[in-house]
Structure 1
Amino acid sequence: MPDVIAERTLELTLPSGTQEGIRVRVWAPEYSPYFRCWVADVEVAGAGDTDKSHGAGIDAFQALYSALHLIPAMLVKYEDDGRLSWLGEGWTGVPAIDLTNA
């Protein structure tokens, strides 16, 4: 399995005021003979749940870009639980990637 190349811990502040860590990790892309393309795994874990997925592409760059694009969508499920933040700021530091104007 490839190495984790990026990791960030977000804070989920629940309505009660308690905080839980939400860990986001991205693994280095690797070629998958099974899928016949490059794959970069991504994981969001915390608050009693773990969600894993992967980005895919014709090269390592596209697989990594695809994996990064998944993170905002994977974080949406925490919006009903409380407020996500990073370093005490009101955002996660993970910008949504708009592909409609690409």
Structure 2
Amino acid sequence: MADVIAQRTIELTLPNGTQGSIRVRVWEPEYRPRPSAPFWEADVEVAGAGKTHKTNGVGIDAFQALYCALQLIPSMLVIYEDLGRLSWLDAEWLGFPEIKLTEP
């Protein structure tokens, strides 16, 4: 089992003022060969407010898998936006990269 290599706690403020937290964790990439092709995976998890979502970034090498895992985080946090305000270090920017699916 891979080790957690990064973890961040995001604050969740509900409309009634109640505070909660969302934990984001990323595991070190692992080589996971499959019959179709060998590739790397980096697991990523977002958990809190009674919800847990875990998936992985996939790549040809460890760098690509880790980069893909980091790019998944903003879309994983979307499920919490309807619950209240998300913040990190008292700022609305959570410090994660966002995927822009537009032409260069």
TM-score (norm 2): 0.91
Corresponding residue for 2:81?
79
CA distance in 2, matches of 1:99, 1:30: 27
How much has 1:98 moved relative to structure 2? Answer: 2.5
**Structure 1 unaligned residues grouped into runs of 5+:** none
SS across alignment from 2:90: coil
Aligned length: 102
The CA RMSD over aligned residues, in Å, is 1.3
- The C-alpha deviation readout for 1:8-50, integer Å capped at 9, x for no partner, is 0000100010111100000000100236210000000000011
**Contact kept? 2:13, 2:85, Cα under 8 Å:** yes
- Matched residue, 1:91: 93
**Identity percentage of aligned residues:** 69
- Structure 2, unaligned stretches of length 5 or more? none
* Distance in 2 (alpha carbons) for counterparts of 1:89 and 1:95: 15
Matches within 5 A, 1:1-102: 1-34=1-34, 36-101=38-103
User: How many Å separate the matches in 1 of 2:84 and 2:20?
Assistant: 10
The superposition leaves residues 41-73 of structure 1 with CA deviations (integer Å, 9 ceiling, x where unpaired) of 000000001100000000000000000010000
